[in-house]
Amino acid sequence: MSPTLILFPVFVQIGLTFALLFWMGRSRVGSIKNGTVKMKDIALGQSAWPDRVTQIGNSFHSQFELPLMFYTLAALIIITRQLDIVLLVLAWLFVALRLAHVFVHTTTNWVPTRFNVFVAGAGVLLVMWVVFAARITLATV
Amino acid sequence: MSQTALFWPAFVQVLLTVFVMMMMGRARSASMKGRKQSLDDVALNRPTDWDDASTKASNNFKNQFELPVLFFAGIGIALALKLVDPVLVALAWVFVLARVLQTAIHLGPNKVGPRGLAYLVGAVALLALWVLLALRVASS
């Protein structure tokens, strides 16, 4: 199995991050233009954005937490050429759960559901790291 | 083209981050001395009365752990797969120079409009870098 297949879920996660970035930017500019917030109230990073804009921004920022461990693992998989079907399926599952997390975060933002989806993604990522650790340990023996 | 050409913009981004970190340290210690902020509040990152220079520097420092992380990841992948070409290198430099400009505006006049524009230029360059990377990987 070509190790670069791990990059396709990575590309989706990157695409998700950029989609949130542009969405956040558009909604922020929108709330400045329609006068909901003033430039001076946000220039120093204050939390003055309307709820909806805050939700999108929070979801964007959460893409720089767990996903970083996902990118790191993807790079390690490519370098060590240790990709298999289990890791690939788990990688797609992780990204699917991140998409679901963004969906909850930017719509109902119902915390119990958001939390469950987050924990499921974190669990999948942890399993990926454990599987990878086992693979490289066995491969070097 | 030398594969390591892509290392240099990443190195500049690292230097930028270290520079902002030092500016933040300087601004924060001046703020704490001048405003007699409680060390306990600072230690736990509780809301405290930072001066504007400290707030700007720490906001910018946090910024350096968002898009630039995707930049480092992209560069790592391009190097690992030996995909470095002049277009990727040019996009990487546009990204880093836009980040330097964004930081200069943020720590200086902090005008939100130009700051957002510099940010946007960097973001678009980075998105282009990733799209290119995806096309190369998909066609290889």
Per the prediction, chain B carries an average pLDDT of 96
Mutation target to probe the A interface, by most A beta carbons within 10 A, among B105, B127, B136, B140 is B127
User: Using CB atoms, which residue from B55, B73, B116 is nearest to A71?
Assistant: B73
Buried b / exposed e over A72-95, threshold 16 CB at 10 Å, is ebbbbbbeeebbeeebbebbebbb
CA atoms within 13 Å, Cβ hemisphere of B131: 8
Residue B1 has pLDDT above 80, yes or no: no
Cβ pair A7:B137 closer than 8 A: yes
Please, which pLDDT band fits residue A1 given cuts at 50, 70 and 90? Answer: confident
Kindly report the nearest CA distance between residue A44 and chain B, in angstroms.
Answer: 6
pLDDT value at residue B56: 97
ipTM of the complex: 0.92
Residue A101 CA from chain centroid, whole number:
8
Q: List Cα–Cα distances, A49 to A38, A90, B43, B124, in angstroms.
A: 9, 36, 27, 24
Please, which pLDDT band fits residue B140 given cuts at 50, 70 and 90? Answer: confident
CA distance linking residue A128 with residue A89, whole number of Å: 10
pLDDT value at residue B21: 98
Residue B98 has pLDDT above 70, yes or no: yes
Mutation target to probe the B interface, by most B beta carbons within 10 A, among A2, A4, A59 is A4
Residue A81 has pLDDT above 80, yes or no: yes
Q: What is the CA radius of gyration of chain A?
A: 18
For A84-124, the pLDDT digits (tens) are 999 999 999 999 999 999 999 999 999 999 999 999 999 99
Report the pLDDT averaged over residues B4-22.
Answer: 97
For B34-45, the pLDDT digits (tens) are 999 999 999 998
Task: Confirm whether pTM is higher than 0.90.
Answer: yes
